[in-house]
Homo-oligomer: A and B are copies of this chain.
Amino acid sequence: MGDGPTITTIAERAGVSIASVSRVLNGLPTRQETVRKVMAAADELGYVRNAVARSLKSRRTHQIAFAMADVGNPAYLAMLREIQPVLKAAGYRLVLHSTDAVVADEIDVLHSLGERYVDGLIMSPLRVTDTHLQMLATARAPVVIIGSVPDGTRVDNVRADSRTGVRLAVDHLYALGRRRIAMVNGPLDTVPGAARGAAYREALTDLGLPYDENLVQIGDFYREEGRRAVAELLDRAPEIDALMCANDLIALGALDVLRAKGRRVPEDVAVVGMDDTDLAAASWPSLTSVSLGSAERGKAAAELLLERLQGDDGDPKRVTVAPRLAIRASTAGPDYERTQRKEGGA
């Protein structure tokens, strides 16, 4: 673990100035002979550029931060999977922050932008507080938000369309003849929780179905919480014939409970999840799920940020990704599943 050669070491060895070394290393016009001497010295010494010194001078770190609520959540991972290659291709490294949806941690990330250890930030907050907005307004580096922010907020953002997503699902259930469609949601003070709850109500109304508070159960976005919530819901309203779940984890919890209670899926109760994570395709019965385009959103966010880093300083941009319904066995039954697989090819 030697103490690493610097351009000074090379300069001495090659008998030239550090400026010449720098020029050669950066491919600036230099006499052939000098190039050769410098390259030789660099090779022999096993020289590697010091990224920190370089960043200090150039004011560019070639690092980008991605802050999300929870590394364990498959929806964020889908984003990560898309963000990573885009940034890598553009020569950026990825610095990961997991904030556990703790507001203070997110603010901290925003604050630390001032430390200039990254050139930009992609953030997907679960809740957006006034402090968030304030820090965003004075951020010291470009930021792209994955998620919704209040109208007028001057920040690039890529949002899902929960409303249309929920509607796709509810319409699908309705088309299957379901009329007692319940919802299991996450906390209403989160951006997705609020949006999905409202969209559910709206979708019912538009279909001419009554909105029944009894059919709405609030839990949290985890499987175990989903089980708890669905168990309660079934006790209270055993007559339901469909479940709209605010994410896939909740939906998996629902499948657990329904199975344990001997309710057939989808014959007795059809189930829809949201986010269309890997788990949806892996479960049995496989889970119909509304894709909110996590992957596309991640990709779009990375691309927006790169544009900013390339100097674009125009008005804030907003991208909205269209939702898509992935129909599987939990609503359409096993036959559908079989067909799907065959079509899917080998």
Contact = CB atoms under 8 A, between A and B. Distances in A.
Contact of A52 (B55, B71, B95, B278): B55
A283 interface: yes
A88 B56 CA distance: 24
Contacts of A142: 1
Copies of this chain present in the complex amount to 2
A81 B140 CA distance: 29
Nearest to A61: B52
Interface in A256-287: 256, 260, 278-279, 282-285
A282 B283 CA distance: 6
A124 to B, nearest CB: 16
Interface stretch (A9-17, A110-118, A233-241): A110-118
A139 interface: yes
Nearest to A47: B114
A346 B228 contact: yes
A296 to B, nearest CB: 16
Query: Most chain-B CB neighbours within 10 Å: which of A46, A71, A112?
Result: A71
A4 B114 contact: yes
A94 interface: yes
Interface in A1-41: 1-2, 4
Contact of A284 (B46, B56, B283): B283
Given A95-B95, A282-B283, A4 B117 contact: no
A50 B80 CA distance: 27
A111 B48 CA distance: 8
Interface string A131-159: 00000001111100000000000000000
Given A77-B71, A81-B72, A341-B256, A49 B115 contact: yes
A252 interface: yes
Contacts of A112: 48
On chain A, which size bracket covers the interface? 35 or more
Interface in A68-113: 71-72, 74, 77, 80-81, 84-85, 88, 93-98, 111-112
A4 to B, nearest CB: 6
A51 interface: yes
A346 B140 contact: no
A320 interface: no
Nearest to A88: B98
A303 interface: no
A202 interface: no
A63 interface: yes
B71 A116 contact: no
Contacts of A93: 95-97, 117
A84 B260 CA distance: 36
8 contacts: A48-B112, A48-B140, A71-B81, A88-B98, A93-B95, A95-B96, A255-B284, A260-B338
Given A71-B80, A72-B81, A279-B282, 6 more contacts: A1-B142, A49-B115, A63-B95, A77-B77, A94-B95, A94-B97
Interface of A: 1-2, 4, 46, 48-53, 55-56, 61, 63, 71-72, 74, 77, 80-81, 84-85, 88, 93-98, 111-112, 114-117, 138-142, 224, 227-228, 252, 255-256, 260, 278-279, 282-285, 338, 341, 346
